[in-house]
Amino acid sequence: MITMSEKDDLLRVLTGAGIGSRRKIAAKIMEGRVTVNGKIAENLRQPVDSRKDRITIDGVEINLVKEKHVYLVLNKPPDVLSTVSDDRGRKTAVDFIPEKYRHLRLYPAGRLDKDTTGLLLLTNDGELTNRLTHPRYRHDKEYLVTLDREMTQDEKYRLEKGIVLEDGITAPAKVSKGKDNQDYTYSVVIHEGRKRQVRRMFESLGCRVFGLRRIRIGGLTLGDLKEGEIKETPAAEIRKIFDIK
CB of 7 to ligand URA, least distance (A): 40
Q: Which residues partner with 81 through β-bridges?
A: 92
* Cα distance between residue 221 and residue 180, in whole Å: 16
* Minimum CB distance to ligand URA smaller for 57 or for 109: 109
Is position 197 an interface residue for ligand URA (rule: CB under 6 A)?
yes
Q: Which residues make Cβ contacts (< 8 Å) with residue 170, sequence separation at least 6?
A: 162, 163, 190, 192, 194, 197, 201
Stretch that binds ligand URA, among 30-38, 52-60, 110-118, 165-173 (CB under 6 A): 110-118
Binds ligand URA by CB under 6 A, chosen from 175, 198, 207, 238: 198
Pairing assessment for the beta strands 65-66 and 2-3 based on DSSP bridges: antiparallel
Is position 199 an interface residue for ligand URA (rule: CB under 6 A)?
yes
Catalytic-residue membership of 113: yes
Q: What is the largest CA-CA distance in the chain?
A: 63
Is position 170 an interface residue for ligand URA (rule: CB under 6 A)?
no
Is position 113 an interface residue for ligand URA (rule: CB under 6 A)?
yes
* Cα distance between residue 88 and residue 76, in whole Å: 19
Q: Which residues make Cβ contacts (< 8 Å) with residue 220, sequence separation at least 6?
A: 73, 119, 121, 233, 238, 241, 242
Instruction: Name the active-site residue from 9, 113, 148, 243.
Output: 113
CB of 69 to ligand URA, least distance (A): 24
**Residues 106/230, Cβ–Cβ less than 8 Å:** no
Is position 222 an interface residue for ligand URA (rule: CB under 6 A)?
no
203 sits in which H/E element: helix 197-204
**Residues 10/34, Cβ–Cβ less than 8 Å:** yes
* Minimum CB distance to ligand URA smaller for 116 or for 130: 116
Is position 92 an interface residue for ligand URA (rule: CB under 6 A)?
no
Binds ligand URA by CB under 6 A, chosen from 105, 191, 196, 239: 196
CB of 11 to ligand URA, least distance (A): 27
**Would you name the residues annotated as active-site residues?**
113
Residues that bind ligand URA (CB under 6 A): 112-113, 116, 196-199, 212
